[in-house]
């Protein structure tokens, strides 16, 4: 037991990172127990006539543009070209002094760091295979910027994006363009490509940028081009994704699932990248830097790539009644997606090997040129290259579930905006950016490929405080991930995790700070019987110290005899008690996995060690510098189990925790027992336990409501085509209809669950303030949760730091003699599957933000 009388004076500082849900976004708690049914308003995209889009022919690059590029009759600035061979050629120097770099080193490094399925890895593997086949010897990467004066003709007037006018999509007239081109070259062509890349490209294959679908087909695997400049992009956002709508008065109790499409125009520094892969495959990636939403409009009719009318002949985004409120779904979804995209467009990310970038990916498509209707595929590719991605989106949405679709949308801006995304930006499909990252190890990358890998979002809050020699704090992180194979929507996996860390330290430990943490850890892992087994011997050791080495008083000063305690540590009675205590824990660890055995044994050893020395506050500098850190991670299954616990189960776990840290150990087993300590806890904190348990019940129920709705989506939409990436829209009603729509927010349902898990902890932490228990509020909120999750679903770590060095003025020989030292132990249950970032350290991802 330790005093927390100064805790109320703690100075707290708060920092929140990465997409935290603001308090103003929180909805009232639901009174419902479970969601058992969803009402669906769903349209079959297979029935949509795409003629309005397929009749639009915007073409590829013109002959005139290619002629200008080859003649260099425009103001251009070239970067030094980069040359790659299968292996490095250090003894060959190109005419401009360039080195020939090794592509095999880049590919192996990419696979190791970012995984085999990351797009950069796939593209560069295709290049390496092409070189090793003997079809070419080098790849040359050239980059240049074209000032005003280049007649790019990379724009067109598009219909269907706004209700009253055409919109010019593509690059603005006179915009300065930045470009990147990669070509495969034979040995006798590399010199000309290095000296004059654009003229050599046109001479070698007849074009710099493809003029037709046949030109695209003729590109070699790994060849690519990219363009960047000011302009506008048109798209339909949210296609195919189930959109769940929550009751405004019911927190996150979802009632309705709808199909939706919001037509939008985005302006900014746009870029488009096309790379030829092997076979018939082409990848197109479009993105924007310093983007802004120009216009958004929810589709309520059929046309321009969106099926807005449901099977009943009514618009899918109709006006409905939710909890007694008339809600216009079109306005609600439009506003929610507009807010989410505008937030996404301004989100600053760390992705390059050097500095920060505000470039975000908007869409990525894989075109299979031999599949589907050839005219549709060609028109979709043309339009996507000129920043109208609606036809490509519509083909993917229409052909969901087909065995060999012509277009696969790997990336969608609405789905991407519900994740914390990092990318290689404009250099995504290049080579040299990966060489800098993998070979030269410049900077730090976190690459996140959506859909086929994991889209990760996290919400992290850190608080710390302290007073005089004490410091304490916690970190709470809710993590969400959604994994989706774009070719197989049924393989979708939604995950939510909760990571908690508590830390407390004392520069001159003078009470039961560490023992309280140890007992709370043991209670959560092996139960109260194990703690009481240690009580029998550890508490007797503590009494032995104070009876054999009594406090000395002279001149109103109390002193502890250090030498007496040091000698006592070798006394057979003391050593015998410690040995018996260590043996007493064995029945509780015998059947545990080895890593849990280590955690429990180390914790028991720390407790018994500290009960063999006199810990006191007679001299404020006498105790050692000591700290205790607990890390606990609840994976998706653990959160389900935690949220299923009853109010009574939680109240009992909290009561046992308070008993463990409140009991006077020196008296337990002599003047009193643990049952008396439990009665004292009930008398002191009974009402507060009830309030914390009610908070647990309420917040756990909120979590379950989201999980219920998420599980119902595939049941409700059985037999329909949809992307298994549900999004949730929630809003609040305060009597003002306009404010209700302005309050709308959209996020992934896994993010909803991670947020609900984080709010569960936050609610417990807030309620713990009323309990002036030993340790701190974060400990009261965290430790009882350990008891509610089976060990096989639990991941936990314990770190004890101890500095027991003596000084001329302060003697700590008893701690050194007793063996109080640093301890670090962790355990992971056999069924644990916490969210990972693949080859990346998820902790590093979170901390970097």
pLDDT tens digits along 113-131: 555 666 777 888 899 999 9
Average pLDDT over residues 133-148: 87
* Res. 438: pLDDT tops 50: no
Same-domain pairing of 393 and 523:
no
Average pLDDT over residues 742-760: 88
Average pLDDT over residues 264-283: 95
pTM, two decimal places: 0.77
Q: What percent of the chain shows pLDDT beyond 90?
A: 51
Would you state the pLDDT for residue 354? Answer: 36
What integer best gives the mean pLDDT of the chain?
82
Would you state the pLDDT for residue 87? Answer: 86
Q: Between residues 621 and 358, which one has the greater pLDDT?
A: 358
Would you state the pLDDT for residue 562? Answer: 84
**Least trusted range by pLDDT, from 76-80, 492-496, 596-600, 775-779:** 492-496
CA nearest to 278, candidates 156, 180, 366 = 366
User: Would you say residue 182 lies in a domain?
Assistant: yes
Same-domain pairing of 768 and 703:
yes
Same-domain pairing of 353 and 499:
no
Last residue of a domain, one of 427, 450, 473: 450
Would you state the pLDDT for residue 353? Answer: 33
How many separate domains does the chain show? 2
Query: What DSSP letter does each residue of 169-229 carry, written as one string?
Result: EEEPTT--EEEEEEEEE-TTTHHHHHHSHHHHHHHHHS-SS-SSHHHHHHSPTT-EEEEEE
* Residue 424 binned pLDDT confidence (cut-offs 50, 70, 90): very low
Would you state the pLDDT for residue 73? Answer: 67
User: Would you say residue 739 lies in a domain?
Assistant: no
Same-domain pairing of 444 and 495:
no
User: pLDDT, tens digit, for every residue of 516-564?
Assistant: 999 999 999 999 999 999 999 999 999 999 999 887 765 566 678 888 9
Would you state the pLDDT for residue 721? Answer: 81
Would you state the pLDDT for residue 810? Answer: 73
* Res. 838: pLDDT tops 80: no
* 727-730 β-sheet, strand order: 39-41, 254-258, 243-246, 727-730, 745-748
Same-domain pairing of 499 and 647:
yes
Same-domain pairing of 504 and 440:
no
* Residue 329 binned pLDDT confidence (cut-offs 50, 70, 90): very high
* Residue 136 binned pLDDT confidence (cut-offs 50, 70, 90): very high
User: Residue 133, class by beta-carbon neighbours within 10 Å (0-12 exposed, 13-18 middle, 19+ buried)?
Assistant: exposed
Range of the domain at 766: 7-30+457-719+753-848
User: Would you say residue 520 lies in a domain?
Assistant: yes
Last residue of a domain, one of 426, 450, 474: 450
Same-domain pairing of 576 and 512:
yes
- The secondary structure of residue 672, as a DSSP letter, is B
Would you state the pLDDT for residue 391? Answer: 98
User: Would you say residue 640 lies in a domain?
Assistant: yes
* Residue 468 binned pLDDT confidence (cut-offs 50, 70, 90): very low
682-712: burial string, b at 16+ Cβ within 10 Å, e else: eeebeebbeebbebbbbbbbbbbbbbbbbeb
Last residue of a domain, one of 384, 419, 450: 450
Would you state the pLDDT for residue 249? Answer: 59
**Least trusted range by pLDDT, from 214-228, 711-725, 747-761, 780-794:** 711-725
* Res. 5: pLDDT tops 60: no
Q: Are 415 and 241 in contact (CB under 8 A)?
A: yes
* Residue 289 binned pLDDT confidence (cut-offs 50, 70, 90): confident
User: Would you say residue 470 lies in a domain?
Assistant: yes
CA nearest to 706, candidates 499, 498, 500, 496 = 496
Q: Which of 64-68, 392-396, 474-478, 615-619 has the highest mean pLDDT?
A: 392-396
User: Would you say residue 585 lies in a domain?
Assistant: yes
Average pLDDT over residues 761-780: 93
Would you state the pLDDT for residue 117? Answer: 63
User: Would you say residue 730 lies in a domain?
Assistant: no
Would you state the pLDDT for residue 557? Answer: 67
Same-domain pairing of 97 and 146:
yes
Same-domain pairing of 206 and 161:
yes
Same-domain pairing of 601 and 679:
yes
Same-domain pairing of 551 and 417:
no
User: Would you say residue 548 lies in a domain?
Assistant: yes
Same-domain pairing of 217 and 256:
yes
């Amino acid at each position: 037991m330790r005093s927390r009388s100064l805790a109320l004076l703690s100075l707290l500082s708060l920092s929140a990172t990465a997409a935290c849900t603001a308090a103003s976004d929180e909805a009232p708690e639901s009174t419902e127990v479970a969601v058992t049914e969803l009402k669906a308003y769903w349209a079959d995209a297979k029935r949509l006539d795409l003629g309005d889009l397929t009749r639009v022919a915007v073409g590829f690059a013109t002959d005139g543009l290619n002629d200008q590029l080859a003649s260099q009759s425009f103001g251009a600035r070239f970067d030094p070209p980069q040359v790659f061979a299968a292996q490095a050629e250090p003894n060959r120097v190109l005419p401009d002094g360039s080195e020939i770099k090794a592509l095999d080193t880049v590919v192996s490094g990419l696979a190791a760091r970012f995984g085999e399925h990351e797009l950069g890895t796939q593209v560069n593997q295709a290049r390496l295979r092409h070189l090793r086949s003997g079809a070419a010897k080098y790849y040359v990467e050239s980059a240049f910027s074209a000032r005003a004066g280049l007649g790019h003709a990379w724009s067109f007037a598009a219909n269907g994006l706004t209700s009253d006018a055409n919109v010019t999509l593509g690059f603005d007239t006179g915009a300065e363009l930045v470009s990147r081109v990669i070509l495969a070259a034979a040995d006798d062509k590399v010199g000309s490509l290095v000296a004059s890349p654009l003229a050599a490209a046109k001479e070698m294959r007849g074009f710099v940028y493809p003029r037709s679908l046949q030109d695209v087909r003729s590109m070699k695997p790994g060849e690519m081009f990219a363009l960047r400049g000011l302009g506008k992009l048109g798209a339909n956002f949210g296609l195919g994704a189930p959109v769940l709508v929550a009751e405004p008065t019911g927190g996150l109790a979802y009632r309705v699932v709808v199909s939706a499409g919001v037509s939008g125009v985005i302006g900014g520094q746009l870029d488009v990248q096309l790379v030829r892969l092997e076979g018939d495959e082409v990848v197109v990636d479009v993105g924007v830097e310093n983007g802004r939403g120009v216009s958004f409009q929810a589709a309520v009719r059929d046309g321009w790539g969106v099926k807005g009318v449901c099977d009943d002949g009514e618009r899918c985004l109709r006006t409905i009644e939710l909890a007694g409120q008339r809600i216009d779904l079109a306005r609600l979804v439009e506003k929610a997606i507009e807010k989410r995209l505008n937030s996404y467009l301004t989100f600053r990310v760390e992705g390059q090997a050097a500095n920060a970038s505000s470039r975000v990916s908007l869409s990525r498509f894989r075109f299979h040129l031999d599949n589907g209707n050839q005219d549709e595929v060609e028109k979709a590719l043309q339009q996507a290259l000129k920043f109208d991605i609606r036809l490509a989106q519509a083909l993917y949405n229409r052909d969901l579930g087909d065995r060999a679709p012509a277009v696969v949308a790997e990336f969608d801006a609405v789905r991407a905006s519900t994740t914390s995304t990092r990318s290689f930006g404009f250099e995504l499909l290049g080579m040299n950016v990966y060489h800098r990252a993998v070979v030269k190890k410049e900077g730090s990358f976190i690459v996140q490929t959506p859909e086929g890998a994991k889209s990760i979002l996290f919400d992290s809050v850190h608080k710390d405080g302290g007073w005089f020699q004490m410091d304490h704090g916690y970190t709470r992180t809710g993590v969400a991930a959604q994994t989706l194979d774009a070719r197989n929507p049924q393989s979708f996996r939604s995950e939510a995790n909760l990571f908690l860390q508590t830390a407390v330290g004392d520069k001159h430990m003078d009470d039961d700070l560490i023992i309280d943490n140890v007992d709370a850890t043991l209670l959560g892992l092996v139960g109260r019987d194990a703690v009481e087994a240690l009580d029998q011997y550890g508490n007797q050791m503590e009494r032995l110290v104070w009876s054999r080495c009594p406090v000395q008083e002279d001149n109103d000063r109390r002193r502890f005899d250090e030498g007496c305690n040091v000698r006592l540590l070798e006394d057979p009675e003391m050593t015998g008690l410690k040995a018996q205590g260590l043996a007493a824990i064995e029945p509780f660890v015998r059947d545990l996995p080895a890593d849990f055995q280590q955690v429990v044994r180390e914790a028991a050893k720390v407790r018994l060690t500290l009960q063999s020395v006199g810990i006191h506050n007679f001299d404020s500098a006498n105790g050692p510098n000591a700290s205790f850190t607990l890390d606990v991670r609840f994976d998706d299954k653990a959160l389900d189990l935690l949220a299923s616990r009853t109010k009574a189960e939680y109240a009992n776990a909290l009561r046992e925790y308070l008993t463990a840290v409140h009991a006077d150990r020196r008296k337990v087993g002599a003047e009193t027992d643990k049952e008396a300590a439990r009665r004292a806890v009930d008398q002191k904190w009974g009402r507060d336990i009830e309030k914390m348990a009610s908070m647990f019940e309420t917040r756990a129920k909120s979590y379950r409501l989201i999980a219920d709705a998420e599980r119902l989506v595939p049941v409700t939409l059985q037999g329909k085509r949809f992307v298994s990436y549900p999004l949730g829209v929630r809003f609040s009603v305060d009597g003002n209809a306009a404010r209700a729509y302005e309050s709308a927010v959209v996020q992934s349902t896994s993010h909803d669950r991670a947020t609900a898990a984080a709010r569960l902890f936050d609610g417990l932490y807030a309620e713990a303030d009323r309990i002036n228990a030993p340790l701190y509020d974060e400990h009261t909120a965290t430790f009882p949760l350990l008891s509610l999750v089976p060990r096989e679903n639990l991941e936990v770590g314990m770190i004890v730091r101890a500095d027991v060095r003596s000084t001329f003025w302060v003697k700590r020989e008893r701690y050194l003699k007793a063996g109080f030292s640093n301890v670090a132990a962790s355990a992971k249950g056999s069924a644990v599957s916490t969210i990972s970032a693949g080859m990346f350290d998820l902790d590093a991802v979170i901390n970097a933000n």
